[in-house]
Structure 1
Amino acid sequence: MSVMTNFHGLIPAMAVPFRADHSIDEQELTGFAQWLARQPGVVGMMTNGHTGEVFSLTPRERAEVTRIVARATEGVCPVVSSVVCEGIRDGIEQAGWAREAGAKALDIMPPHHWLRFGFRPSHVIEYFTAIGEASGLPLIVHVYPAWTKASFSSDLLAELAQLPFVKAFKIGTREMNKYARDLQAIRAVAPGKALLTCHDEYLLASMVQGVDGALVGFASLIPGLINDLLQAVRNGDLKTAQMLQAKIDPLKEAVYGGGEPTGEAHANMKAAMAAAGIFRSGAVRAPTIAPNAQELAVIAEAVASAGLSRLRAA
């Protein structure tokens, strides 16, 4: 069984197109995956993230999304699938479905009950170890914001970094002081593990901390701009990086406003993808709410101003 080995670069968290009846549009998803896989700097693609409206999908639908994307990009780009569940047995089962569907790595989100009740560090180590040993796939640690009860301490992140199956960290700390400490703690014990920003709403500020790539939903819309920004930061070209971030900012404001990614922000991004010609429709599944007419006008103006019209067709 082949696995994903390179986590250094751009990994878009994929949006999922729906038909008018809210079923998964396999033809549209296939074309989108093939387009995204060819974008410069893309080293993998992630299915079943928050951008993909994962909480509106059944576990079997999540496996189906991964199957569609893996089949569309076979031999071109490896697929990472997120695992979103409540316990170890559930995690092992869903990880197995993802592997069978063609996933070459897994992004492991914290179980929802950790958000409600918290956890002991031993719970986290046991969870990742069980899924890693059962699946045999490389794991990405999905780091939740510092203000949540599912936030991992810097010491726990360092412990996770030493697990053999853990190969990368999708870091969404969203508190820059802790973010810097987290990066330092991981680097100190496992310098070869990939550190990936998932701060869609302030990319440049998070990239200049010394990360290895970006795993962001925003790359479903603007993979080229985000890759250019990452390369400018890697090259130490701050002037170019600032210029690129200035291009991104109006789109960022239209999609995310002044906050973090949310269900409604993901709906805004799908609307922007439709306006850019990436998707035929910006349809979302409940409970996500589509943007209203005023919001759609703002999104359309930002897409036009950024020169993204008919992006996929180009």
Structure 2
Amino acid sequence: MSVMTNFKGIIPAIAVPFNADHSIDEAELSRYAAWLGKRRGIVGIMTNGHTGEVFSLTAKERAEVTRIVAKALSGICPTISSVVCEGIKDGIEHALMAKEAGATALDIMPPHHWLRFGFKREHCLDYFSAIGEATKLPLIVHVYPAWTRASFSSELLAELARLDHVQAFKIGTREMNKYARDIKAIRAAAPHKALLTCHDEYLLASMVQGVDGALVGFASLIPDLIHDLFAAVTAGDLKLAMKLQSMIDPLKDAVYGGGEPTGEAHGRMKAAMQVAGVIRDATVRPPTHAPSAEEMAAIRAAVAAAGLTVQAAA
């Protein structure tokens, strides 16, 4: 199995279609993954992110989602899997399961007990190093918001950038002064490693900071718009970029409600995907709830305004 080498471009964090009984809809996930992987500018697809309702999936189901997606994407583009664990032992176990299932790179989220208790620099370096050594796969550092106790300092990000296994950063700092410092620190430490915005709710503002692409759940719904936006930014065409962002804004407001991605926001995005014909069924797993009637009205209006219904997945 060859490992992923190009992280520069658009990487959707894929949503997972469920059947009415909340089981994984394998046929629909396969069809949808293949469609998404063929969209313009897609360099890989990530499973088991927050958009994929990872916290509602068992360890075996996470590996199964990766297996289904990797099989569907064979010959199209690479599959990345997030690793969402609490310690080194289970982190390695989940990472090896993802590799066995077909992942050729891994996105490493910070252990969630760090959100409550914080962590030491050594904890973070040891965690990434252990998973990298065990799997020999390229790693993406999943950067949490600056306001959380799992936030990485700019200095720590520079240290992570110097690790051989680390090849990219999914940057969700969500505080623009620190975001700019983080980018500068990583670039100084390892200029060739990929910097990817994961600010679904303000794409243009984060793209113009000089990043290499986007790794966002929003690309599960609007891969073409996000590709075109990034292409306009890369070309220096701010007028076109602003026009594209204005098309994205109603969708962003309908899905994220002016806030950050959350479980309920992912439910609203699945509903938008169903309205747009991207997936067959918008079922979410509890405790996430389906959108209200008022939210659905806003979603339908935003999808229509963006012209997404004419881009329905085949």
The verdict on a shared fold, with TM-score over 0.5 as the criterion, is yes
Amino acid in the other structure paired with 1:127 = Y
Q: Alpha-carbon deviations, 1:180-230, whole Å to 9, x = none?
A: 000000000100000000000000000000000000000000000000000
Contact persistence 2:10–2:214 (CA under 8 A):
yes
Q: Structure 2 unaligned segments of length 5 or more: list them.
A: none
Q: What is the alpha-carbon distance in structure 1 between the residues aligned to residue 159 and residue 124 of structure 2?
A: 10
What pairs with 1:115-154 in structure 2 (closer than 5 Å)?
115-154=115-154
Amino acid in the other structure paired with 1:278 = V
Q: Which residue of 1 is the match for residue 94 of structure 2?
A: 94
Q: Alpha-carbon deviations, 1:13-33, whole Å to 9, x = none?
A: 000000000000000000000
Q: Which residue of 2 is the match for residue 281 of structure 1?
A: 281
Q: Alpha-carbon deviations, 1:11-69, whole Å to 9, x = none?
A: 00000000000000000000000000100000000000000000000010000000000
What pairs with 1:150-299 in structure 2 (closer than 5 Å)?
150-299=150-299
In the TM superposition, residue 304 of structure 1 has moved relative to its aligned partner by 1.1
Q: What is the alpha-carbon distance in structure 1 between the residues aligned to residue 290 and residue 153 of structure 2?
A: 35
In the TM superposition, residue 294 of structure 1 has moved relative to its aligned partner by 1.2
Q: Which residue of 1 is the match for residue 8 of structure 2?
A: 8
Q: What is the alpha-carbon distance in structure 2 between the residues aligned to residue 96 and residue 262 of structure 1?
A: 28
Contact persistence 2:36–2:220 (CA under 8 A):
yes
TM-score normalised by length of structure 2: 0.99
Q: Alpha-carbon deviations, 1:69-117, whole Å to 9, x = none?
A: 0000112110000000100000000000000000000000000110110
In the TM superposition, residue 313 of structure 1 has moved relative to its aligned partner by 3.8
Contact persistence 1:35–1:312 (CA under 8 A):
no
Tell me the secondary structure at the aligned position of residue 170 of structure 1.
strand
Q: What is the alpha-carbon distance in structure 1 between the residues aligned to residue 287 and residue 294 of structure 2?
A: 20
Contact persistence 1:278–1:310 (CA under 8 A):
no
CA RMSD in angstroms, aligned pairs only: 0.7
Change in CA separation of 1:124 and 1:218 when aligned onto 2, cut-off 3 Å: same
Q: What is the alpha-carbon distance in structure 1 between the residues aligned to residue 306 and residue 212 of structure 2?
A: 26
Q: What is the alpha-carbon distance in structure 2 between the residues aligned to residue 66 and residue 84 of structure 1?
A: 14
Identity %: 74
In the TM superposition, residue 297 of structure 1 has moved relative to its aligned partner by 1.1
Q: What is the alpha-carbon distance in structure 1 between the residues aligned to residue 313 and residue 217 of structure 2?
A: 20
In the TM superposition, residue 311 of structure 1 has moved relative to its aligned partner by 2.6
Q: Which residue of 2 is the match for residue 66 of structure 1?
A: 66
Contact persistence 2:275–2:309 (CA under 8 A):
yes
Amino acid in the other structure paired with 1:266 = H
In the TM superposition, residue 310 of structure 1 has moved relative to its aligned partner by 5.1
Q: What is the alpha-carbon distance in structure 2 between the residues aligned to residue 305 and residue 160 of structure 1?
A: 42
Contact persistence 1:9–1:42 (CA under 8 A):
yes
Q: What is the alpha-carbon distance in structure 2 between the residues aligned to residue 138 and residue 75 of structure 1?
A: 19
Tell me the secondary structure at the aligned position of residue 243 of structure 2.
helix
Amino acid in the other structure paired with 1:202 = Y
Q: Which residue of 2 is the match for residue 82 of structure 1?
A: 82
Q: Structure 1 unaligned segments of length 5 or more: list them.
A: none
Contact persistence 1:143–1:151 (CA under 8 A):
yes
